[in-house]
Amino acid sequence: MSGFTLNVNGGNWSSVYGAYSPKGGDVTGNKVYIQGGTVGGEVFGGSADISGNVRDNEVHIEDGNVNHNIIGGYSINGNSEHNTVTINGGTIDYPSGYGSQIYGGRSNRGDAENNTVTISGGAINPNPASSLKIYGGFTNGNGKKAKGNDVTIGGNASFADTGNLDVYGGYAYSSDSSDTEASGNTVTIEKDAT
């Protein structure tokens, strides 16, 4: 699935996807723009269940309200590469009872490479009972790579002082002794971010 664009300018939405493949297949080049309204669930630029890689998917938040996690590209078994989340405005409110996460790209069993999160505006309010975790790229796959991912926080971004804020350029988790790799990832915090 490729080349879809979803514009959210108002109304109330549950979860939002640029594109979603429930039965396998790559998900590439899809975009979500949130410029108003309220999204009560998660936001995905692109998502692939079962199998399939996710590449070059984008989430842009410019206004409105989002009340859950934000993921540029998410794959269960494939790789997550070159996906982006850009937040320039709006309000991100995380509800109680849920974790608070932003991922440029995430893979549960593949590599996460060259994904990006850029936050230059907006108000982000984590769930007070949990940490807000921001990942450029995240893999949960044994022996897999989180490589070349980037997080930049600056401009007029504002984070509520309600809990811990954890920022990772890249994160590679292994549940066994597999040789995972986290390399070439960057975090930049600049300008007037609070």
pLDDT interval class at 132 (50, 70, 90): confident
Please state, rounded to an integer, the average pLDDT across all residues of the chain.
90
Mean pLDDT of 19-25: 89
For the record, the structure tokens of 131 come out as: 């940490």
Q: Among all chains, which residue has been given the structure tokens 């440029």?
A: 104
Is residue 97 predicted with pLDDT exceeding 80?
no
Q: What is the pLDDT of residue 176?
A: 80
Angstrom distance (rounded) from CA 83 to CA 143: 21
**Poorest-pLDDT segment among 10-19, 94-103, 182-191:** 94-103
Q: What is the pLDDT of residue 50?
A: 84
Mean pLDDT of 53-70: 94
To which H or E segment does residue 74 belong? strand 70-75
Identify the residue with better confidence: 88 or 131. Answer: 88
CA-to-CA distance for 34 and 7, rounded, in angstroms? 6
Tell me which residue of 180, 134, 172, 126 sits closest to 153, measured CA to CA.
134
